[in-house]
Amino acid sequence: DAVLITYGDTLSAEGESPLVALQRFAQTHLKKIFSHIHVLPFWPYSSDDGFSVIDFHRIDPALGRWSEMCRLGQDFKLMFDLVLNHISAKSKWFEYYRAGRSGFDTLAIEADPHTDLSDVVRPRALPLLTETIMANQKKRHVWTTFSADQIDLNFASVDVLIKMVAVLLYYVKQGAEIIRLDAIAYLWKEIGTTCIHLDKTHEVVRLFRAILDQVAPQVMILTETNVPHAENISYFGNGLNEAQMVYN
């Protein structure tokens, strides 16, 4: 197997969408070279080259449509990104959180800005907490590991966990053969810890693997962690219960 990694708009041609241009080029030139194509985040987004996702279920209209992605999947196996650590501050989900809507009121991770968070491992030199104004005008500070536009999801919330399992299964339905868990190392937060590689992060990976083993055993999980080798390969678990592939 060999995986081509590309943004959805790397190629363009007059009169057709970027996904159609990619499919046509790949079908003509790449079928004997690559088995898989990983289209980097192709969702509507607000920043970070696609990794601040506005809607987990839609393709950015500037790139094309689901039917065009499915056509690409007829010639190549597909790899999708599940950006599960965070969601865009411009998303409907975060808007519902700010409004206190049921099912979304525990979406974000709140913390007192005076809390000592000095033990937290930081991937970027940006503020860890971001002030947000709720619909009732009250101020809260929410966890933003990567940027103020990327609101960390609270996986301690059953509502959040169920929503993200649904996204995982939606990607399977859309033809993903490999699902890359973006920034997985930072998923679970516990104040007083480093908030990286925590046991409950690995439990979430094991849960996703167990679900896929039952309903779509052909789909592989790939974990993405920009960490040293020993930490990276810890996401294999015991070799059978976490990721089938790891990625740095």
pLDDT digits (tens, 9 = 90+) for 145-193: 999 999 999 999 999 999 999 999 999 999 999 999 999 999 999 999 9
Task: Work out the pLDDT band at 15, boundaries 50, 70, 90.
Answer: very high
Task: Work out the pLDDT band at 238, boundaries 50, 70, 90.
Answer: very high
Q: How far is CA 71 from CA 2, 24, 46, 178, 232, in A?
A: 19, 10, 27, 17, 33
Coil, helix or strand at residue 188: coil
Task: Work out the pLDDT band at 30, boundaries 50, 70, 90.
Answer: very high
Residue 224 is predicted with a pLDDT of: 97
Q: How far is CA 231 from CA 117, 188, 198, 222, in A?
A: 22, 16, 11, 14
Q: Which two tokens stand for residue 23?
A: 């499919």
Indicate the DSSP class of residue 16: B
Q: Which residues are catalytic?
A: 182
139 backbone dihedrals φ, ψ, rounded to 5°: -95, 140
Q: What are residue 110's DSSP bridge partners?
A: 142
As a whole-number percent, the residues of the chain with pLDDT over 90 amount to: 99
